[in-house]
Amino acid sequence: MIRFLTAGESHGKALTTIVEGFPSNLKINIDEINLQLKRRQSGYGRGLRMKIESDAAEILSGIRFGKTLGSPVSMLIRNKDWENWADKMKIEGKSSGVEKITIPRPGHADLVGISKYNYDDIRNSIERSSARETAARVAACSIARIFLAEFGITIGSFVESIGGVYPENNFAAKLFDNNLSKNFDAWGLSAKSDKSSVRVLESKHEKEIIDKIKLAKKKGDTLGGTFYVVATGVPVGLGTFVHYDKKLDACIANSIMSINAVKAVSIGTGFESSEKFGSESHDEIILKNNLLTRKTNRAGGIEGGISTGLPIIVRGAMKPISTLMSPIESVDLKTMKKVDARRERSDFVAVPACAVIGESMLAWTLAEFFVEKFGGDSIEETKDNFSSYTRKLHSRIKKNFAK
């Protein structure tokens, strides 16, 4: 079993994470972790904070001479902005002299946070509920990505829409049609979308989206959007139909939905499939190069809670950022009078970053199922288990049914 925990406040000294359960002898290159952290910071429409921070992980334990020891890996990401917040974020002492925040922003965790935790300052809600926490997640999940890559599993993403602006040719259709080049690997999607400032696959689409973001900025408003996260190389058999909480699709939905501001997740053709006939919706089973596979991939690589061996296709929807420069209505908790919601430095759009975090969360969930299925205390042992299973898979099916 693998697990991770993150700690840290948005303007505290640092974010930390402890990652546990990966086998020993897995080669870890810190540049790969830092690349993912850098990607998370990217995207047109981010706020000033991203100019202050240059997120980088410091590994504190669990790795020796570039390889995992099998012990917990702990990492630290410093918040450069903390220096500007040291007085407001003191660990010890009294809060006297520090201005309390009393006006909650609709859509953020401000009001629910103070209600639940009995805080007397909304700052206490803001700090941990901030999406800054996802930097620590991305660092933790990078270990999962590195691990999966050892087995040829890669993960990539692209932004499908921002503010309702969709592309002329949606690449998702190609994914569902299973109309992909022989060597298609999901990371290639990210290699392409990373070249765009809003992480889309077409330059015309990029321009249209940037115009929409400029409009939002001008209005003091924000936008959300949709994104796809894809994994390739996933073997047949991760997940199960046996238990509700061990279904691969259910767990993926959980991990993507856990990303701040994500309000919807679907797998494969998702909501659209509910409007179709069954004959238009399911993937016909065929033999290709003497191996069993599917003609199309509308199921998004999962049937009955189990991976089919085809690309895993996940779509997420992020709501618009809730901090508005032209605020909507709220109530000042000090006076209990109607006021404009509080403005706070924030992003206008963070969908490109959200897709990168989606990649990380998908990697984590796949690694969870992978480690559960193939086990192993060292990477060598995991590889032996994996190759024995995949090598024999098709011959076993043939043998069982030829009897």
Q: Which residues bind ligand EPS (CB under 6 A)?
A: 10, 47, 49, 130-132, 134-135, 260, 323, 345-347
Cβ nearer to ligand EPS, comparing 234 with 324: 324
Least separation in angstroms between residue 157's CB and ligand EPS is 16
Least separation in angstroms between residue 101's CB and ligand EPS is 12
Comparing CA positions, the residue from 248, 231, 228, 230 lying closest to residue 239 is 248
Structure tokens at 398: 């043939």
Least separation in angstroms between residue 59's CB and ligand EPS is 20
Distances (CA, A) of 369 to 112, 235, 310: 33, 11, 16
Q: Which residues contact 401 (CB under 8 A, 6 or more apart)?
A: none
Cβ contact 225:318 at 8 Å: yes
Cβ nearer to ligand EPS, comparing 132 with 212: 132
Least separation in angstroms between residue 171's CB and ligand EPS is 26
191 backbone φψ class: left, alpha, beta (φ>0; ψ -120 to 50): alpha
Cβ nearer to ligand EPS, comparing 24 with 322: 322
Cβ nearer to ligand EPS, comparing 42 with 281: 42
What is the Cα–Cα distance from 290 to 273, expressed in whole angstroms?
29
Place of tokens 């898979």: 393
Distances (CA, A) of 266 to 170, 203, 257, 354, 370: 16, 26, 10, 15, 21
Strand (E) or helix (H) holding 68: strand 67-68
Cβ nearer to ligand EPS, comparing 28 with 109: 109
Cβ nearer to ligand EPS, comparing 89 with 131: 131
Least separation in angstroms between residue 134's CB and ligand EPS is 6
Least separation in angstroms between residue 348's CB and ligand EPS is 10
